[in-house]
Structure 1
């Protein structure tokens, strides 16, 4: 049963009103990842009857299951792709880290920059992180883009309750125990215990082989020479192990 807000509306009704109230004449850019949150905001946009176009920013290291899920259940989604593949950029720019995420800046969050739709609907929720909690329902990312977050105050169980109640399709990876459906290779999953990394390597070995090949090319061109100069020899295996453990 849906909980009621102080004004007597459900969160679903409030989210619908939110999108209707802010609807721009040229329609919304709806950022779609294929995950549970974007599935819900897409459904709310349909219920609201607002004008919008769904966009998926494909990085090249996406879970194949997500791509298949989107193509099957959301066939009118516009796929945005980078000019250069991730592995080529890795060799040029260096390996990404938690504090230097060029992959997010140059691939994941920039592919839609040239789309002439200023008003962007995203599935950002306050519960996800302290940083996102500071955004509020409407956030100016840059002069040319304004973000609208219809489920900003929703909790995770409310997202799943909405999906179950309306019978919405969701990616099978959730049923396999994956709670995060972002890039297969990502510094944010790197921890000292390697639990998430090892699970990803087991699930998507081809992507990780391609990643390690690119990392080896980077190591041979830049990292190995640099370590020799500063007198700190490091084998490639040690280099990779440190990256996987977030060091």
Structure 2
């Protein structure tokens, strides 16, 4: 377990005066008080990526609800994960296994909790946009994927519940200790009227609750290692996943302000197709740990990144039919139809070698439909 032998103290404002260092009971007590807050009873939407921080929040929220009398469990809790359809297969398999255990446990725990996965619109998936419409592989300057694959699907789910209930509260596992930018983001937004809630900057009617924001990474790992999850089993699989992948995960992304956290050198669990990062350390970590079946995915991602700026694979015109220049340099258009066919053929070869679905038949059909429309214009 990647926890230091001398973990740092937590500076959390616990009402009962107890030391908050590694104190799951204290976190649970805070969450229980917030859940029972008489000021509002809006639904909670818990962003669950399957990573260590969101797992700890989920663990603590379930524990908190179990400590409340059944007749007082009136606030709905929605555990919401996002599947971009190009997530790391190993991470996605782990996430689905946790969701399955959760659903089974919630059946007999009788908690007002639902488990949901959001996905991009069929016309906005990674493969339909890249192979169908020819969008170039994402990079730091043109990160078209985050909004369509992550922000829009989950934001629509949140806003739907805001419209139904007047407001919704996002329960997120974000921490100041994650990075300087995360700390600055948390401290920049003040809570509402001495509460634990902060208005979301881009989702009207959505408020944010961050129950573990003052914990360190060491604190998180120590709590997870010492306490079994209330839905059964242990956190051993999660700890092993991090060991094999050498660390972190892409965070829950709900606005363009948060998008820089997706596809950075410090975020390693994410889309296996991510060409924003120079090297996918999580997939390579799995291969180095002996999971050699992922090598074809590593090779394909690297190749997709390499061909992005090859002029022979890019159209001269943009999708709007214009030839554009910036600072005196030609701005290439989308991948050519020939390049898109090449990418699809190679992807299908990798899928056959990998032995599991990487692109659905629905996406392939939609890609062919887009090509037909373009060629007949």
TM-score, normalised on structure 1? 0.74
Deviation at 1:152, TM superposition (A): 0.7
1:224 to 1:196, Cα distance in 2 relative to 1, 3 A: farther
1:178 counterpart = 2:178:
no
Q: Match of 1:152? A: 213
1:42 counterpart = 2:42:
no
The CA distance in 2 between the partners of 1:209 and 1:96, in whole Å, is 17
1:219 to 1:25, Cα distance in 2 relative to 1, 3 A: farther
More off after superposition, 176-185 vs 210-219: 210-219
Q: How large is the RMSD of aligned CA atoms in angstroms?
A: 3.8
1:130 counterpart = 2:191:
no
Deviation at 1:218, TM superposition (A): 9.0
The CA distance in 1 between the partners of 2:137 and 2:92, in whole Å, is 24
1:224 to 1:68, Cα distance in 2 relative to 1, 3 A: same
The CA distance in 2 between the partners of 1:200 and 1:86, in whole Å, is 24
1:78 to 1:90, Cα distance in 2 relative to 1, 3 A: same
Question: Which among 111, 114, 119 is matched to residue 81 of structure 1?
Answer: 119
Deviations 1:149-183 (A, max 9, x none): 11111111111111111134243421314213222
**Other structure's SS at 1:189 match:** coil
1:9 to 1:197, Cα distance in 2 relative to 1, 3 A: closer
The CA distance in 1 between the partners of 2:82 and 2:52, in whole Å, is 16
The CA distance in 1 between the partners of 2:8 and 2:226, in whole Å, is 10
The CA distance in 2 between the partners of 1:69 and 1:126, in whole Å, is 26
Q: Match of 2:81? A: 56
Deviations 1:186-222 (A, max 9, x none): 34531xxx47388269563454566556985996787
1:16 counterpart = 2:28:
yes
1:13 to 1:101, Cα distance in 2 relative to 1, 3 A: farther
**Other structure's SS at 2:137 match:** coil
Deviation at 1:111, TM superposition (A): 1.3
The CA distance in 2 between the partners of 1:221 and 1:111, in whole Å, is 34
Higher gyration radius (CA) = 2
The CA distance in 1 between the partners of 2:143 and 2:330, in whole Å, is 27
Deviations 1:96-133 (A, max 9, x none): 22344222222112211222342111111111122211
Q: Match of 2:190? A: none
Q: Match of 2:45? A: 29
Unaligned runs of 5+ in 1: 237-247
Q: Is the 8 A contact 1:123 1:149 kept in 2?
A: yes
Deviations 1:25-74 (A, max 9, x none): 24211111111111100001111116412111001221112222122222
TM-score, normalised on structure 2? 0.51
1:218 to 1:99, Cα distance in 2 relative to 1, 3 A: closer
More off after superposition, 196-205 vs 121-130: 196-205
1:189 counterpart = 2:277:
yes
More off after superposition, 1-10 vs 12-21: 1-10
**Other structure's SS at 2:78 match:** strand
